[in-house]
Structure formats: C-alpha cells, structure tokens
Structure 1
Amino acid sequence: MPIKDIPSPADIRAARVADPDLRERDLADRIGITEAQLLAAHIGHGVTPISADPDRVMPAINRLGEVMALTRNDSCVIEKIGVYDDYRGGPHAALIVNGEIDLRLFPRHFAYGFAVEKPLKDGGVRQSLQFFDAAGDAVHKVFLRDSSVVEEWDGLIEELAVCDRAETLSVSDRRPVEPARADPDKADRLRAEWDNITDTHQFLQMVRKLKMNRLGAYRIAGAPYVRPLATTSVATLLERAAATALPIMAFVGNMGCIEIHTGPISTLKPMGPWLNVLDPGFNLHLRADHIAEVWQVTKATRRGDAISVEAFDKDGMLIVQLFGVLADQDAAARWNETVFALDGLAQEETV
C-alpha cells in the first residue's frame, strides 16, 4: 500500500480516539490501512519501533516471565500463557518448545516490530510486543500479564528499539492465498510417495516436489489417505473432545508463525459464528462460518499413523489443524475413534 494512499498519522490517531473500543485490526480495516500502519502512526504516542529479528527478540521476551502468546490468521486465533524459554534460532526456521509455549517461527516474514503501551479504561496500561510481515499483517503478538516481570519492560524496549521512527509505513501488497493445486495425472505417483512418508514434516516437501500443494493433494489422493468431512465436523470434534477431556493438538498459524496447543480442552462456548475454547492458559477463537472444506488426513510416522482434521476456507487457506497426541497411546486411540465417527462426504461434494 503506497504511502500516498493512506491517511496522515494525525488522521489515523484521530480515528483511534474517535473509536477507542474497536479492535486495532478492525479499525485498520475500516480506515483502509494495515494494522502495522496503524501502530506506526502512533510512534511516540505509546508505540516504540523495535527489532523484528526473532534471534534478538525471543530470548529477550523470556526475561518477561509469564506472558500470553497470540497467533492468528483471518479465521482463527490461538492464545497460550507461558514463558518463552528454550528458544532455538535459525535463518529459515526457529522454534520455542517448552511446557506451554510451542511456536514455529519463520524469520523472513518478521518485517516490523513494535512495543505497544495501550491505556485501559481502569487507568492501567496493557503492554505488548507485536510483529508484522512486509504486508503489514500481524504474524505474532506477546502480551504482558499481571504475573509478568514488568520490571524488565523498560530495559528490554531500550535494548530492542530501532532508529527508524517514521510514523508513516509503506507496506507491500498482500500475497494472495494459493488455491488448491493438483495434477490428477500424478495421482498414482502421489499415493506411492505418500506410502513412503515416515514423518509428517515430509509431506509438504513431497507435494512441492510434485508441483502440488496441500489442499490440491488432498482432493486427488482418495482413501485411505484422506476422507472429506462435513464442514460442521470441526465443531463436532471440539464438542466431543471437551466432553471427554480428550487431549488434542491444535495448530494455528500464518506464513510467519505457527502456534500449537497440546492437551485437553474443557470449556467450549459458541458465540454467533465463533467457536471459543476458554480454558485456563489456552484460548481458541474459530470462525466456524469461514470453514469451506474439512479433510481427515492420515500420514505415517515412526510412532504410528498421525490422523488429523484440517479445515480450509473458501480460498483454500488452511485455518486450523487438529491432531491427536501420539505420545499417549491411549489418547491417540481415543482420538482416532472420535475422528472416524465424524460425518463424511462423498468425494464429489468437496470440489
């Protein structure tokens, strides 16, 4: 979005003052800018530009102690409470894996970073670190809590601050979602390659080699590799998992970050189009009305078959992936039984 096409920083700040309760993402959409541009307009007004380099930022966040990690796409938000301990960096992919926080980070998509201090109605201030891609869309956010080590905040921001304090930000065009890409003439080869998988991480490498993508491969693979499910099956699955304290793995992400929850869920509260998991330490907010396709997918691993339920929107964007917990054999067996009981569709109903 060229700079000349966006409102002035003063006009953006005035729009914020005029509607203080609207979420930043929604306000940005309303005035025709990105969320990163909204924050840039507030530099010097509670916002400080900081490094977006995960190798610098993530170890520093660990000093804040317990925080809330948030990752989202257009249809799903995941929130986990924990510490940013055990960061492992890398130029192409990085990760944090500990008891609560489980992240996969892709540094090339971390283009902008901001430290945000937002005044609250009760007189307090909500402190957060927010990171955006080159298009100005959020890839990951970190929110301080009452239990955080707030004494570290000022020093951390001073350490991570960058010199560029421009209030007007030029962002690139958003990359469109790639629609399903498949080659029916390679269906037999796809199945043969699928039979050789020994780890779920090998799957995307395999489909890329065949010049397909995830959804395209699902549409032509057929049984026993995939089974199309009703779009209501994600809600059904979450309801049954909550009712039986079934441990699950939920993967929610965007191009820059994938956040993962592992464990049972207990409180599921639908509200309008939203399915909300509201558990201590873990929240999930899913727009059920955005789900256009759902697939049950089986991939072999050294610990047994990994069976997932994966939801896509109308454009082919992956919204959420739900897995069983293979490390717990009893839980994995219960997961498989629950997934196999979900309503399926005829193949012709999926395309």
Structure 2
Amino acid sequence: MELKEKYESYKKDNPKARIYDCAKALAVSEAQLLLTQLSDDVVLLKNDIWAILQELPRLGHVMALTRNDACVHERKGIYPTPSNEGHVVLFHNDDIDLRIFIQSWAYSFAVKVKDLWSVQFFDTAGLAVHKVYLTKESDSIHVYEELVHAYRAEDQSYFTIQAPTALSDISVPDTEIHIDQFQEDWLKMKDSHEFFGLLRKHNLQRTQALRLAPDGFAEQLAADRFFEILNQASVQEVPVMVFVSNKGCIQIHSGLITKLVTMDNWFNVLDTNFNLHLNIDAIDQIWLVRKPSTDGDVHALEVYDKKGNLIVQLFGKRKPGIPELESWRSLLQVQKIEN
C-alpha cells in the first residue's frame, strides 16, 4: 500500500510529528492515514455517530480536543448526557461545552498509541472534527474497551475516502451589497447567534461583514492587542469564554485563564483543565465586535487567518438572560483606547 509506506517513512524521518502534521505533509486527511493503520490498536467504528456520542459520559474524566488549522482547544472534564436538537448535538456542563453539527460527521475511530487511548471523529472529507482522550484520572480503560467491542465496524479493511467537491467562493463584492439594509439588520439582532443568518441573507464573508458593520460595532485592532487582552484578563481575573471551531464542532471554555506562555510561534494557555495552543504566524486580523442582544450589547474579540477563517473567539463569561460582565467591557474599552 503506497500511502502506508509513505506514512511510515515520514514518521521515521520525523519521529515527533503528530498525525495532523503528517497528513498535511502527505496531502491527505488524518482519517485516510488511520485507515492505513487498522489493527487491534486502530479500530474503525460503526457508522452510528449519535450512539457513540451517547457513550462518552461513561468514559469519566477525559480531555476533549477540538482544533482548526491555527488553534487547538483542549478541555478536561466529564461529558454530560448529550441532547440532540436535530441539526446540532449539545454537550453542556461547566467543563465540557460543545456544539456539534452532526450532519457533517462521517467516520469515527478508536485509537491507542502507546499509553494514549482516544475516540476520534472525522467529517466527510476525513478531516478531524473532535477527539476524546482518556486521562490519568479516567480509570475507564475497561469502558473504552467495551465501547470498541460494541461499536467495532465489521469491515476493517482499507478504503479511500472520497472527499466532497470543495465549494466555490460565493462571496459578493461590496458594491453589490445592500449595505444600509445589512446594517439595519445588524442593529435588529436580538442574539449573537443570529449573526450566522445575517451572513447568509446578505451573502457575506465574516471579515467582509465586519468591514461593513454599523459605525462603532466592529473595529480592527493591532495584532498585539489580542495577547494583551488575554494577559489582562488573567491578571485582573476576568472570567472569559474561549470558542474554537471547525466545520463540525464548536468547543467552549468558560472561566478564568491563568498561565499564559509563548513558545516559538505558539501562544499557549496552560492551565490545569484548559489548554489553548494558537499559531501566532497564522493570525492576520483581530476584530473587536459588538452585537446587540436582548440582554444588552455583547462584545467579542475575534481572530482571523489570511483566508478570512475564524480562528478563535473570546467573550466575557456569561449565560443567556444575564448582561455582559462590566469587568470584560471595561478591559476591552481600555485596550480599544490604547489601540
């Protein structure tokens, strides 16, 4: 098998490379590489994602990982019982907070590498959307083994994932946007989640929408402001919400952040139950965004890459029905002035 040989050769030459990096280097998906490794330690699971998701609480204390090309979000805790809202599956407690767009999830694997046990999920293109790792506190290897036995796919042979055709760019130039109507719709928002519908209605890319936002509702900041805001949130003990997403999953940390460390081109939050790893080189734009809601205006810090993809979002910690933290708003106001 040609790909299997290429993968083994690359790992031999790059022993510290993670499977994500190997897949990038070999121009294939992570799931495609896992299919070359099918064995007792790498098991393709049945095509019953919802049933497998319902088993995750049984694993006990685990680490949930969601990433995109520029940022990795890791949160430790115990999965709550999920709820299936049709187009979205929700896990929500103080530790594990996920919004899963299950229609794009297609493959799952149980993967054991040395002393790491994990359940990994992939979309229709074989791209990783979410991973669950047992921790030293899990004490649930037997549950993991039961899950693998119950959901092991009958056919454990290699196959090629047929990636769907990439969607063409449907963005519309500024000159064709009804800017007045768009801005009016922005000001009518009652919840920040309505922003997605606003983009679809006006055929806007996210950064394009920010450029065309009503006066005072979106301001581009210098790149260093992002790191200073996180630093001040840590120093002032302002609890935040950190969102990282890909096409299949949004993962959220809510709470304080304390240990901030920059290593080479990576900015990291290295707390006991929450880790964030952000590739500094991937950052192209930082925006301070204000959106109306029934609880008052909500301010977000949004980070984008060169293609206009959202990398990470920060909010002050809040729940529906509760106004935004004044401490978060004050922190942002100071940074806005210094910008």
Task: Calculate the TM-score normalised by the size of structure 1.
Answer: 0.89
Alignment of 1:127 with 2:127, yes or no, is: no
The CA deviation at 1:54 is: 3.7
1:94 to 89, 96, 100: 89
Residues 1:180 and 1:295: Cα distance change in structure 2 (over 3 Å): farther
Q: Give the percent of matched residue pairs that are identical in Structure 1 and Structure 2.
A: 34
For 2:104, give the aligned amino acid.
H
Distance 1:293 1:180 in 2: 18
Residues 1:179 and 1:287: Cα distance change in structure 2 (over 3 Å): farther
Is the CA contact 2:284–2:304 (under 8 Å) kept in the aligned structure 1? Answer: yes
C-alpha RMSD of the superposition: 2.4
1:150-165 correspondence to structure 2 within 5 Å? 150-165=141-156
The CA deviation at 1:13 is: 3.9
The CA deviation at 1:30 is: 2.5
For 1:342, give the aligned amino acid.
Q
Alignment of 1:337 with 2:337, yes or no, is: no
The CA deviation at 1:175 is: 3.7
- The equivalent of 1:206 in structure 2 is 198
Residues 1:131 and 1:206: Cα distance change in structure 2 (over 3 Å): same
Distance 1:233 1:177 in 2: 33
- The equivalent of 1:33 in structure 2 is 28
Long gaps (5+) in structure 2: none
Distance 1:269 1:165 in 2: 42
Distance 1:171 1:144 in 2: 30
For 1:134, give the aligned amino acid.
T
| Range that drifts further, 320-329 or 233-242 | 320-329
Is the CA contact 2:104–2:123 (under 8 Å) kept in the aligned structure 1? Answer: yes
Residues 1:179 and 1:286: Cα distance change in structure 2 (over 3 Å): farther
Distance 2:160 2:119 in 1: 18
Is the CA contact 1:230–1:344 (under 8 Å) kept in the aligned structure 2? Answer: no
SS at match of 1:342: helix
The CA deviation at 1:345 is: 11
| Range that drifts further, 255-264 or 166-175 | 166-175
For 1:47, give the aligned amino acid.
V
2:65 to 62, 70, 73: 70
Long gaps (5+) in structure 1: 1-5, 120-124, 347-351
1:248-327 correspondence to structure 2 within 5 Å? 248-327=240-319
| Range that drifts further, 246-255 or 44-53 | 44-53
Distance 1:316 1:216 in 2: 9
SS at match of 2:63: strand
Distance 1:221 1:320 in 2: 20
Residues 1:314 and 1:52: Cα distance change in structure 2 (over 3 Å): farther
For 1:336, give the aligned amino acid.
R
For 1:337, give the aligned amino acid.
S
1:56 to 46, 51, 59: 51
- The equivalent of 1:142 in structure 2 is 132
SS at match of 2:178: helix
For 1:244, give the aligned amino acid.
Q
Distance 1:134 1:330 in 2: 39
Partner deviation per Cα, 1:193-240 (whole Å, 9 max, x = no partner)? 112111111111122112223222111114222111112221111111
Residues 1:91 and 1:326: Cα distance change in structure 2 (over 3 Å): closer
1:21 to 16, 34, 52: 16
The CA deviation at 1:162 is: 1.5
Task: Calculate the TM-score normalised by the size of structure 2.
Answer: 0.91
Residues 1:276 and 1:79: Cα distance change in structure 2 (over 3 Å): same
For 1:297, give the aligned amino acid.
V
- The equivalent of 2:239 in structure 1 is 247
How many residue pairs get aligned? The number is 336
Is the CA contact 2:186–2:213 (under 8 Å) kept in the aligned structure 1? Answer: no
